[in-house]
Amino acid sequence: MAEIHSSLPDSTQQLNRLLDTQHENWHFIWLDWVCSQLPQVDGALIVADESQSGQFHALAVWPEVAENNSGNADNSHQDKLLQDAAEQTLIKKQPLITPLNDGKHHIGSYPVFVEGKLSAVITLMFTAQDEAQLHKALAVIEYCSGWLELRLARNILATLASDNERQHIVIDSIAHVASENYFEHAALRFVNLMGKHLNTERVVLGFVKNDELVIHSQSDSSEQSKKHELVKLTTQAMQEATDQQESVLWPAPSDQNRITQAHSKLAVEKGQRSLMSVPLIDKELCYGTVLFERSPEHPFTHQDQLTAEALTNFVGVVLEEKRQSNLPLYSYFLRSLRNQLSRLFGSGYLMRKITVFILLLVSLFFSLMPGAYNISAETVIEGAELRAIVVPFDGYLQTADLRAGDSVQKGDLLAELDTSELRLQRMSWISQQATSMRQYEDALAKQELTKVQISSAQRKRAQAEIELLDYQISQATMVAPFNALIVSGDLNQRIGSQLRQGDVLFELSPSQRFRLAMYVDEFRINDINHAQTGRLVLAALPDQKFSFTLTRINPMAEVRDGATVYRVEAELNNSADVLRVGLEGVAQIYVDQRLLITIWTRSMVDWMKLQWWRFWG
């Protein structure tokens, strides 16, 4: 390594040129210096990522193309070898020495890391006679790469410092603009801050209104800046940047590929001033532009552009929020509507267009397609009639084996009362009847008319009492008057208890004849008429449908489950053995044929009409 140090130039001029890492031709200077340290170098290449973006680019080639134009084919082949070696080093991230086919020439490629990240690759084609010369060449490359590493590290530090300074400027500007209560004051503060941070003589702020840019405020309030021709040219220049939605600099840098006609006219009018226009963009929507102007001796640089874009991107959003908050409600609504329509009919937003197209097709279909208008109603099955079995006379219960839910046939015994006391009374009245008969015969034989009449009356009374007791005894056995289902009644635990005349023992409903009790909402009762038909689905039998016909509409409303409803009765057209009294379900009452959209929006339209009448009359 001492031998390497002794061979390196000690020229002060050369050292100063290497220390000036910001020189625009530094890479060529450094590469020329490296090649001078190694004998018989045929070519060299620097590939680096100075922007830390992950994209590597060739920064310098030695010798320069202009030095040797006679061997273009050889230079192309040599450049191809250097590029391939650099790509291999980028992939493997380690030094590589590759011998060529002639056995003398070698290609050495050395990676340069900055803060542990691969930032550059140095590739040289040189001649080495033995392995010692190869190691010496690699050592020289490694030593000289320290200067390149210094250059890259300084660039990173400069970039970080510039970014930090830019962040402080943005944060400070946001704080100042946000502290203003009124939009006009915030806009004036914004342009003054932009002029201060970018060292400009004039800053103009404009906003887009009806697709045209309108100047709102500017930092220069002199009379010259308010001239009509100057305002017109300024507006055109800002509109030029707004239409392109890209920053525009004048004089235009060599790498700028944008239209600058309006900027050139404004610059000529102002005496060849330096101009920069930066559009204000939020969520792909350009809502304004800021124009900067300063003397031609200080043209705008790329760093100025980055600072301006950072300020407009972040501070401009705060300013736009203040502007929107000061707009009237109708302006905010129209602006939102215009933005949505531009997205719908403009380029992009394919899914939104497809969704709207499908919704339009569905709406059109339902607006033209008719359908059956049915009214849904909660329904309960009731018996066609309800027969009550009551106690015929005061007595004691002797037999009652049935209860609610049992099915009975006509003539089946339901309950029986104890008739022993009635039979004793009957025997007593029979005895009295026989006594009255003997007294009647004796009085008739003796021709005692008064006794004859009394005895005859007593005999008739006894006969009537006997007939009454016979009737009561016959009524003591209560049987089913028809095939029925016992709806209520359970007397199993009341055997032997006393019953009063008129007490209800059982309630019977015909087992094969039913009626439907439907409860229609008050908003739909006007659509219900007699003889309308429909279908019923029961909760217990969801797979079966039963048809019915309306027979009666109760004109009295009632409250059921918190809603006002009307009771509508119907008769089943097709009965089944599986039906039972008390089953519940949902009935669909057919009204007529209507458009599907009118059917589905009926409730909403009725509600809106009611609310309109409630508030406006």
List the chain domain ranges.
2-159, 180-329, 387-507, 513-616
Q: What is the DSSP letter of 50?
A: T
| pLDDT confidence bin for 68, thresholds 50/70/90 | very low
- Scanning the structure block, which residue is given the tokens 């542990």? 116
Among the four given CATH numbers 3.30.1490.20, 3.30.70.3270, 2.40.30.170, 1.10.3720.10, the one describing domain 513-616 = 2.40.30.170
Question: Among 284-293, 452-461, 487-496, whose mean pLDDT is lowest?
Answer: 487-496
- 458-507 pLDDT per residue, tens: 888 888 888 888 888 888 888 888 777 777 777 777 787 878 888 887 77
515-538: average pLDDT = 92
The encoded tokens of residue 411 equal 């003539």
Checking if the pLDDT of 322 tops 70, the result is yes
Percent with pLDDT over 90 in the chain: 11
From the list 561, 557, 547, the residue with the least C-alpha distance to 526 is: 557
In 442-583, beta strands by DSSP E: 477-479, 484-488, 498-499, 504-510, 514-521, 533-538, 546-560, 563-572
Q: Could you tell me if 123 and 85 are in contact, meaning their C-beta atoms sit under 8 angstroms apart?
A: yes
Half-sphere exposure of 207 (CA within 13 A, CB side): 15
- Scanning the structure block, which residue is given the tokens 């309030």? 221
Percent with pLDDT over 70 in the chain: 90
Task: Between 271 and 442, name the one with better pLDDT.
Answer: 442
Sequence-ordered list of residues with C-beta below 8 angstroms from that of 605, at least 6 positions apart, any chain: none
| pLDDT confidence bin for 24, thresholds 50/70/90 | low
**Per-residue confidence (pLDDT) for residue 74, from 0 to 100:** 60
Crossing angle (nearest 10°) for helices 131-178 and 183-198: 150
**CA of 203: how far to CAs of 234, 267, 291, 310, 571, in Å?**
11, 14, 6, 16, 86
98-119: average pLDDT = 76
Checking if the pLDDT of 7 tops 70, the result is no
From the list 209, 210, 168, 203, the residue with the least C-alpha distance to 189 is: 203
Task: Between 407 and 12, name the one with better pLDDT.
Answer: 407
Signed CA dihedral, 238, 240, 242, 248: sign only:
negative
User: Side by side, which strands form the sheet with 504-510?
Assistant: 387-390, 504-510, 484-488, 407-408
> What b/e string do you get for 285-296 counting C-beta neighbours within 10 Å, with b at 16 or more?
ebbbbbbbbbee
How many C-beta atoms surround the C-beta of residue 608 within 10 A? Answer: 11
How far is 519 from 536, CA to CA, in rounded Å? 13
86-97: average pLDDT = 80
Checking if the pLDDT of 65 tops 70, the result is no
Give 80: exposed, middle or buried? Use CB within 10 Å, 0-12, 13-18, 19+.
Answer: exposed
- 346-360 pLDDT per residue, tens: 777 888 889 999 999
Whether the full predicted model's pTM is greater than 0.85, yes or no, is no
> Within its chain, how far is the Cα of 598 from the centroid?
27
Checking if the pLDDT of 602 tops 60, the result is yes
| Residue 467 parent element (H or E) | helix 449-475
Select, from the ranges 49-53, 340-344, 504-508, 534-538, the one with the highest average predicted confidence (pLDDT).
534-538
| pLDDT confidence bin for 69, thresholds 50/70/90 | very low
**Per-residue confidence (pLDDT) for residue 558, from 0 to 100:** 92
| pLDDT confidence bin for 67, thresholds 50/70/90 | very low
224-232: average pLDDT = 73
**Per-residue confidence (pLDDT) for residue 50, from 0 to 100:** 67
**Per-residue confidence (pLDDT) for residue 12, from 0 to 100:** 64
Give 65: exposed, middle or buried? Use CB within 10 Å, 0-12, 13-18, 19+.
Answer: exposed
**Per-residue confidence (pLDDT) for residue 137, from 0 to 100:** 76
How far is 431 from 16, CA to CA, in rounded Å? 158
Task: Between 5 and 513, name the one with better pLDDT.
Answer: 513
Select, from the ranges 35-39, 300-304, 566-570, the one with the highest average predicted confidence (pLDDT).
566-570
- 543-553 pLDDT per residue, tens: 999 999 999 99
What would be the CATH architecture of the domain defined by 2-159?
2-Layer Sandwich (3.30)
**Per-residue confidence (pLDDT) for residue 10, from 0 to 100:** 47
**Per-residue confidence (pLDDT) for residue 377, from 0 to 100:** 93
Sequence-ordered list of residues with C-beta below 8 angstroms from that of 7, at least 6 positions apart, any chain: 37
| pLDDT confidence bin for 528, thresholds 50/70/90 | very high
197-216: average pLDDT = 84
Max Cα distance, the chain (Å): 185
Checking if the pLDDT of 70 tops 50, the result is no
**Per-residue confidence (pLDDT) for residue 221, from 0 to 100:** 59
How many C-beta atoms surround the C-beta of residue 361 within 10 A? Answer: 10
Q: What are the phi and psi torsion angles at 79 (to 5°)? A: -65, -35
- 122-139 pLDDT per residue, tens: 887 877 767 777 777 777
Using CA atoms in the order 338, 341, 342, 345, what is the torsion angle rounded to 10 degrees? -160
Q: Could you tell me if 563 and 533 are in contact, meaning their C-beta atoms sit under 8 angstroms apart?
A: no
Look over the chain and give the mean of its residue pLDDT values, rounded to a whole number: 80
How far is 87 from 64, CA to CA, in rounded Å? 21
Crossing angle (nearest 10°) for helices 12-19 and 26-37: 140
Checking if the pLDDT of 268 tops 80, the result is yes
| pLDDT confidence bin for 224, thresholds 50/70/90 | low
**CA of 570: how far to CAs of 266, 530, 534, in Å?**
87, 9, 9
Checking if the pLDDT of 582 tops 70, the result is yes
* Domain over 180-329 is classified CATH 3.30.450.40: yes
The reply to whether 513-616 shares the fold of 180-329 is no
Task: Between 285 and 517, name the one with better pLDDT.
Answer: 517
- 413-449 pLDDT per residue, tens: 888 888 888 888 889 888 888 888 888 888 888 888 8
